Amino acid sequence: MKFAPLFSGSNGNAVLVSSGRTHLLIDAGVSGVRIQEALMAAGVDARGISGIAVTHEHSDHISGVGVLSRRYNLPIFATEGTWAAMRERLGALEMRNIRVIRAGADFFMDDMNIMPFEIPHDANEPVGFSLYAGGMKVCVATDIGCIRDKWMSEAEKSDILLLEANHDVDMLKAGRYPYELKRRIPAKKGISPMRTRGSPRRSSSAAGSSGSCWGT
């Protein structure tokens, strides 16, 4: 399997996972044109993309989803909660491209098996994805706020694991986020804002029964 993080961070996220035959985009949080260019740089023609799997409805994960679906007739896979939160923001879509998925219920795209799993994040039914093809497993979880045992078991035995956790206290304070969110995130039980800088220090073997949080 081929794996290419095209964009990452609060300015936009998109990951390409390819079996060689199936090319799946996970999120498309920048413009359609930029995604096209990034795909080209990764050696994949945007016309060959098989579909887009959406982790959650935040703008930095969906801003290119609608336009790419219209331009290339791409199916969009998202949970019911994510659809409810993003549907109107994607613009007109073909009914056949609206695909509802559920955490714990796997599905196939040609030779790729895709398992959505719950992730802890401040969004409406967000998910991460485990992808299987050619005897390999790729696990993608972005904007993770907490490590839970349940999540660690999903991440286990991955050949490639993309784990992203963005929470910087100064960025949160200065960012264009609603006041309620700014107040709520650092106040969450078990979160120490000072510990949220940089990468999580927790290893998979250290995950306790209640898990560990460092932000969202």
Binding site for Zn ion (CB under 5 A): 58, 143
Distance separating alpha carbons of residues 44 and 177, to the nearest angstrom: 35
32 Cβ contact partners less than 8 Å away, ≥ 6 residues apart: 64, 67, 68, 71
Bridge partners (DSSP) listed for residue 118: 127
| Minimum distance from residue 119 beta carbon to Zn ion (Å) | 10
| Minimum distance from residue 125 beta carbon to Zn ion (Å) | 12
Distance separating alpha carbons of residues 200 and 213, to the nearest angstrom: 9
| Minimum distance from residue 169 beta carbon to Zn ion (Å) | 17
| Minimum distance from residue 205 beta carbon to Zn ion (Å) | 27
| Nearest residue (beta carbon) to Zn ion | 58
| Minimum distance from residue 123 beta carbon to Zn ion (Å) | 6
Residue 112 or 147 with smaller CB distance to Zn ion: 147
Q: Cα-atom radius of gyration of the chain, to the nearest Å?
A: 17
- Residue 198 has a CB neighbour count (10 Å cut-off) of 9
Residue 23 or 58 with smaller CB distance to Zn ion: 58
Residue 121 or 137 with smaller CB distance to Zn ion: 121
Residue 21 or 173 with smaller CB distance to Zn ion: 173
55 Cβ contact partners less than 8 Å away, ≥ 6 residues apart: 26, 27, 61, 82, 119, 126, 127, 128, 129, 140, 141, 142, 143
| Minimum distance from residue 73 beta carbon to Zn ion (Å) | 27
Report how far apart, in Å, the C-alpha atoms of 127 and of each of 83, 115, 121 are: 12, 10, 9
Write out the H or E segment, with its range, that includes residue 52. Answer: strand 51-53
Residue 72 or 151 with smaller CB distance to Zn ion: 151
Residue 143 or 154 with smaller CB distance to Zn ion: 143
Q: State both tokens at 44.
A: 């994949």
